[in-house]
Copies of this chain bind each other. A is one copy, B any other.
Amino acid sequence: MGNEKLPKRSENYSEWYNELVKRADLAENSSVRGCMVIKPYGYSIWEKMQQQLDKMFKDTGHTNAYFPLFIPKSFFSKEASHVDGFAKECAVVTHYRLKNAPDGSIIVDPDAKLEEELIVRPTSETIIWNTYKNWIQSYRDLPLLINQWANVVRWEMRTRLFLRTAEFLWQEGHTAHATADEAVAETLQMLEVYAEFAETYLGVPVIKGVKPAHERFAGAIDTYCIEGLMQDGKALQAGTSHFLGQNFAKAFDVKFTNKDNKIEYAWATSWGVSTRLMGALIMAHSDDDGLVLPPNLAPIQVVIVPIYKADSREKVIEKCQVIKKNLQKLGIAVKLDDRDNQSAGFKFAEYELKGVPLRLALGARDLENNTIEIARRDTKEKMSISQEGLEAKIQTLLGEIQQNIFNKALAFRDSHITKVETYAEFKDVLENKTGFVSAHWDGTTETADKIKDETKATIRCIPMNNPQESGKCIFTGNPSKERVLFAKAY
């Protein structure tokens, strides 16, 4: 590890991604089709995401709970549009016992067939709203603000590590409210939470918007999303927040007595982000040498590599330990790599591959001169500086790196939103410039489908506060009242 070169992004972006995910010890494919193993280094980044998101959910009044992994098959039929979206490609549990066959092999016991098949949850609206029925009687029980951290399974045919896997980890918020207005406000609040998290922690600028009807979550009245742009010019949906109206309350008979003593159905939202965020993080910032991690999510923010010969080893490492302790006191995640069996060069390449934001190297000469070498992962800048005030410099630098990573992604994104007036231009931008294309659309699913068939581009969203501007649909020439954002997407 760390010595072989990665494929280049410019030559094979897809191979570069796959190799990077494996070589940086983030994840790998398992022996179970479509299911990944999240390796310790990758998982430690996911943990940092979880911790921050969990804090943001709790700060906005939510609590966590846990609902069953399995959902009775019949639950999916209860919300008409939900079933089409979710109950198709899924893992179906049909039996509850294995037994030994006469030849000694293990077989499914035909006598242990379930009366009703169980579906491994692809999302939990149905089982949760079936539970809420017993929790909600009065407006005093509302709002109910619950989040769940869980694994879910969707039987994807073509999978890619983090981006699209059969099993993935996520959080799903499910809230119930007394009024439509409150539910819409919650939906938008969580969209803001996701956008803030994406920009401040992932360092990925996102466009907030609403999906066109045909891209809505199955069962939603409105689906809001945040869309990021990857370095290959493809969009990635990084989170969604749904206003579900009274659809699930009606399907599962969740009624309450309101303040006027009248019975009505509760209003719902749901919202989620997943280990897909790992894919966004990797693809938005990393380069041909490896991962580039924003300090706010880096499990190791600073690595110290001692450079020594046998006679200077003890003194050099001793000094490194002092520096480590001083940085830890400031809450900085620091690692001292004092392995004797690897060269400094090997270590440098390893931490570059793993995206550690700052690397310190200290040798015998530095001890004499009271200096230290400091290297930034994001810009590759390297400089020898005085050890004087090192901790403060590092704190400042970590902040600068976080900001620089975001700014770079923002500049790339902003230079990749292109207004077009014709379908020819549209196709040309998609093929050559890539990125988001802002274009007029006649508002019909039919047109969106045809454009998708011909170009693979989909409508990513109608941005929030979208300027109203009359124009003509690039595809049909029919009248349009606003532009929407198209892109090829993950």
In the complex, A140 Cα to B342 Cα: how many Å? 11
Q: How far apart are A329's CB and chain B's nearest CB, in angstroms?
A: 18
Chain B residues with Cβ below 8 Å from A31 are 72, 75, 127, 130-131
Q: Is A30 an interface residue (CB 8 A)?
A: yes
Known: A37-B131, A77-B106, A105-B77. A30 touches B67 (CB 8 A): yes
B93 touches A99 (CB 8 A): no
Query: Which of the residues B63, B75, B130 comes within 8 Å of A43, measured between beta carbons?
Result: B63
Complex CA–CA separation, A172 to B335 (angstroms): 26
Quick check: B64 and A153 within 8 Å, CB to CB?
A: no
Which A residues between 61 and 88 are near B, CB-CB below 8 angstroms?
63-77, 83, 87-88
Is B140 in contact with A341, judged by CB distance below 8 angstroms? yes
Cα-based distance from A40 to B62 in the complex (angstroms)? 10
- Contact assessment for A99 and B88 in the assembled complex, using a CB-CB cutoff below 8 Å: yes
A169, B95: Cβ atoms closer than 8 Å: no
**The residue from B28, B70, B92 contacting A98, defined by CB atoms under 8 A apart:** B92
In Å, the complex CA distance between A46 and B134 comes to: 22
The reply to whether A43 and B68 contact each other, CB–CB distance below 8 Å, is no
Which residues of chain B are within 8 angstroms of A130 by Cβ–Cβ distance?
A: 31
- B91→A70 contact, CB < 8 A: yes
Contact of A63 among B40, B97, B151 (CB under 8 A): B40
Whole-angstrom distance between the Cβ of A113 and the nearest chain B Cβ? 10
What residues of B have a CB within 8 angstroms of the CB of A131 in the complex? 28, 30-31, 37
Question: In angstroms, how far is the closest chain B Cβ from the Cβ of A54?
Answer: 9
7 closest residue pairs by CB, A with B: A35-B68, A38-B66, A40-B63, A92-B95, A96-B155, A32-B68, A94-B94
Q: What is the bound-complex CA distance between A108 and B40, given in angstroms?
A: 37
Q: For window 104-153 of chain A, which residues contact chain B by CB distance below 8 Å?
A: 105-106, 108, 117-120, 127, 130-131, 134, 140, 146, 150-151, 153
A92 touches B108 (CB 8 A): yes
C-alpha gap A76/B108 in the complex (Å): 13
Docked Cα-Cα span, A108 to B94, in Å, equals 9
Residue A90 is within 8 A (CB to CB) of chain B in the complex: yes
A68-B30, A151-B151 in contact; A73/B94 too (CB < 8 A)?
no
Q: What is the interface size of chain A, counting residues whose CB is below 8 A from a CB of the partner?
A: 63
Q: How far is the CB of A231 from chain B (nearest CB, A)?
A: 26
Nearest B residue to A83, CB-CB? B106
Q: With contacts A31-B127, A32-B72, A153-B69 known, is A63 near B77, CB below 8 A? A: no
* A44 interface residue (CB < 8 Å to B): yes
Once the chains are docked, how many angstroms separate the CA of A416 from the CA of B89? 55
A interface with B by C-beta (< 8 Å): 28, 30-32, 35-40, 43-44, 46-47, 63-77, 83, 87-99, 105-106, 108, 117-120, 127, 130-131, 134, 140, 146, 150-151, 153, 155, 167, 169, 341
Residue of B nearest to A165 (CB): B68
A96 touches B91 (CB 8 A): yes
Q: Is the CB of B39 within 8 A of A65?
A: yes
Residue of B nearest to A135 (CB): B39
For the complex, give the distance between the alpha carbons of A258 and B106 in Å: 36
Residues in B whose Cβ lies below 8 Å from that of A88: 97-99
Distance from A42 Cβ to chain B, minimum over Cβ atoms (Å) = 8
Q: How far is B71's CA from A38's CA once the two chains are assembled, in angstroms?
A: 16
Inter-chain CA distance A76–B106, complex, in Å, is 9
Contacts of A39 in B (CB 8 A): 65
Alpha-carbon distance A284/B146, docked complex (angstroms): 29
Which chain B residues lie closer than 8 Å to A134 at the CB level? 28
Residues of chain B contacted by A91 (CB below 8 angstroms): 70, 93, 95-96, 118
* Assembly CA distance A478 to B144 (angstroms): 63
Q: Provide the residues of chain B in CB contact with A169, threshold 8 Å.
A: 66
**A57 CA to B75 CA in the complex, in Å?**
39
Which of B37, B44, B63, B108 is within 8 Å of A64, CB to CB? B44
Contact between chains at A89 and B95 (CB < 8 Å): no
A93 (CB) vs chain B CBs: closest residue? B91
Q: Considering the chains assembled together, what is the distance between the CA atoms of A292 and B81 in angstroms?
A: 46
Q: Is the CB of B64 within 8 A of A43?
A: yes
List of B residues within 8 angstroms of A96 by Cβ: 89-92, 155
In the assembled complex, the CB of A137 is this many whole angstroms from the nearest CB of chain B, namely 12
Contact residues in B for A64 (Cβ distance below 8 Å) = 40, 43-44, 47
Q: A94-B95, A155-B97 are in contact. Are A68 and B108 (CB under 8 A)?
A: no
